[in-house]
A and B are shown apart, each in its own frame.
Chain A
Amino acid sequence: MDSLVPLFVIIPLGIAFLIPLTWRFIPGIYRYLPSAGMLAMTVIALVMLFSLGGETIIYKVGGWEPVSNIPIGIHLVIDSMSLMMLMIVNIVGLLAGLFSIPYIDKYTGENYYYSLFSLMVAGMNGVVMTGDLFNLFVFLEIAVIASYSLVAFGSSREELEASFKYQVLGGIASLLILFSLAVTYWYTGTLNIADVACVLQSDPGSDTALFIQLFMVAGFGLKAAMIPFHAWLPDAHSSAPSPVSAMLSGVLIKAVGVYAILRLFFTMFTITIEIAWIVAVIGALSMVVGVFLAIGQWDMKRLLAYHSISQMGYVITASGIAMIVIARGGDPKVAALALAGGIFHMFNHAMFKGLLFLNAGALEYATGTRNLKELGGLSDLMPVTSLTNLGASLSISGIPPFNGFFSKLIIIIAAVKGRFYFLALLAVIVSIITLASFMKVQRYAFLDGVKSPKLSKVREVPFLMYLPMIVMAILCLAMSLMVIPGIRETFLMNAVNSLLSVIS
């Protein structure tokens, strides 16, 4: 089982470099290579999840054994949390890759698209697995540099401008992260996450540790587009080709932003009350401001992008609640519940937001516009898109029996149990506004009568585009099974425990 660990980086990285070398000689096959690779990785992750059952694998790259208990070389650490993230990254990547095959057909340089796509997945898989801080930075840069160029892939005016903004802000975020790594190395003399945790535990709450944490919150908060660091996200996510938007919004901001925050704060730093409040307040701000910015939008993808900020706010708020409870020395069960809600919502968001972006892509592919005012009456002409969009909308606004309902319910219960009544109230209000804004989408795009005669010729999108949408809609329903006892332990609670095990 151990020897399978590096495959999560080798497969996508190999595909990324194989495509530019071979696309001339074997025409057409490069379209299917990334999806095939990601399917293989999803299966490997699923098999490992069942066979591990909460255990942790440490893979030492190059076989460098620790010398007198000081780790040298890079360690890849696989536990339930990273396996769940790997599964989410690869499932969304697989479906977005299939969706790309007809969608990217109209662009030139298709082979580069698939190559960059695999490179981005390789970076994200690496970020999720690594146990070394500098290695995390390297994989993060691989993922984001690939995403910069994918955002600019259409090379029209908006795409180039969005990519430039994204690169400048992303570059500053990378510098903040690199600076915090430099200070960490200067202070502790090591960059292995477990080793840094040991050193920091001997001196909890020191000023230097606080300084490092502030820079990490700013750096990873910029990558995760938390308010007030959100300026790049609506432009970048709405300008990119739709399958790329699904990847960016669905998994990239989670893997390089939220996951890194969760991993570093729960397993590396000793949680202090100041940082816990900062995280919770940033999360609550994103949740509320994001949804109010979203409701006035008429460009469908821009509306979805603002909702990504708002929904990521839920995840950050939930983890902030867990951190405050731990820092106060409160009931560990409440902390575990809040964290479980946050992580569950993160997985769910990958599914429904990926689906919503694919729907927006299907609308754009079929009609040539994504302005809601110009659409209308498409529910008869595009039945699959209409139905899957309804499912995803209900899921994101938290209507049972879709998965979004259960994760939001867990977050709200945890907030009430931890006596954060105001945050619980905010979560409910934001959920209602989300519902209103998605009812607007459903009505203007699919229900109102046909507004312009050219829309009457619209046809449903090709098979390879609606197949991923149907699979995602089914997964949106099926993921609510993750709250049932018996299934919950394997998929959710093991992941929570692997984050909390260091603290207890």
Chain B
Amino acid sequence: MAPYMLCFVLFLVGLYGVLTRKNIIKIIIGLCVMEYSLYLFLAMTGYIDGGAAPIIDPSKPAGLVVDPLPQAFVLTAIVIGLATTALLLAIAIRLYKKYKTFDIDKINTLKG
């Protein structure tokens, strides 16, 4: 149970960062931390206690292996996360060029 609790704590740390920080870059880091906690959770859903890596050799009898499917999901999710983070950072750089600040309180053209 302890790994799941730590995973949840990591998620909350990220959420705290997104909600309370004023700096755009810190908000992006918060989002990344939330993402990573989810990847950990996804990987753990396939874990079997005492399981080996899911590489099956036809000449030997298959022993206990962990579920390989969540690992494939995590890899896909990491690639998607890379795309979103890259885009967020690109937008952050353009925002800095326009507003000369990373403070979200000063980036407030849109209202209502």
Contact = CB atoms under 8 A, between A and B. Distances in A.
B13 interface: no
Nearest to B34: A175
B38 A178 contact: yes
A160 interface: yes
Contacts of A148: 84, 87, 91
Q: Which of A160, A167, A185, A186 is most buried by chain B, counting CB atoms within 10 A of its CB?
A: A160
B87 A149 contact: yes
B80 A182 contact: no
Interface string A144-157: 01001100100111
Contact of B76 (A134, A157, A162, A171): A134
A286 B45 CA distance: 36
A172 interface: yes
Interface string B30-50: 010011001001100100000
B5 interface: no
Contact of A164 (B34, B41, B88, B112): B88
Given A145-B83, A175-B34, A182-B41, A167 B91 contact: yes
Contact of A152 (B27, B83, B91, B107): B91
A195 interface: no
Interface in B82-112: 83-84, 87-88, 91-92, 94-95, 98-99, 107-110, 112
B66 interface: no
Interface residues of A, number: 33
B84 A167 contact: yes
Nearest to A186: B45
A487 B76 CA distance: 43
Interface string B57-83: 000000000000110010011001001
Given A145-B83, A161-B109, A172-B18, A182 B91 contact: no
A145 B91 CA distance: 12
A189 to B, nearest CB: 8
Given A168-B27, A175-B34, A182-B45, A161 B95 contact: yes
Contacts of A172: 18, 31, 34
A141 B87 CA distance: 13
B107 A161 contact: yes
A133 B67 CA distance: 18
Interface of B is mostly: helix
Contacts of A163: 91
Contact of B91 (A160, A175, A297): A160
A160 B101 CA distance: 13
Nearest to A302: B112
A160 B98 contact: yes
B57 to A, nearest CB: 20
A161 B111 CA distance: 11
B84 A297 contact: no
Contacts of B77: 178
B contact residues, range: 20 to 34
B24 interface: yes
Contacts of A234: 112
A365 interface: no
Nearest to B42: A182
Nearest to B80: A141
A179 interface: yes
Contacts of B34: 172, 175
B92 A164 contact: yes
Contacts of A162: 110
A460 interface: no
Contact of B24 (A164, A171, A178, A179): A164
A179 B110 contact: no
A171 B73 CA distance: 17
Interface string A212-252: 00000000000000000000001100010000000000000
Interface string A169-211: 0011011001100100110000000000000000000000000
B68 to A, nearest CB: 12
Contacts of A156: 98
Contact of B45 (A134, A164, A171, A185): A185
Q: Which of A171, A172, A302 is most buried by chain B, counting CB atoms within 10 A of its CB?
A: A171
A302 B109 CA distance: 14
Contacts of B80: 138, 141, 145, 174
Contacts of B41: 179, 182
Contact of B110 (A175, A182, A239, A297): A239
Given A152-B91, A164-B91, A178 B42 contact: yes
A276 B108 CA distance: 38
A485 to B, nearest CB: 46
Interface string A79-109: 0000000000000000000000000000000
A167 B98 contact: no
Given A167-B84, A171-B31, A175-B35, A161 B42 contact: no
B73 A175 contact: no
Contacts of A179: 38, 41
Contacts of A164: 24, 88, 91-92, 95, 107
B36 to A, nearest CB: 11
A390 B64 CA distance: 68
Given A141-B84, A158-B110, 4 more contacts: A171-B31, A179-B38, A182-B42, A302-B112
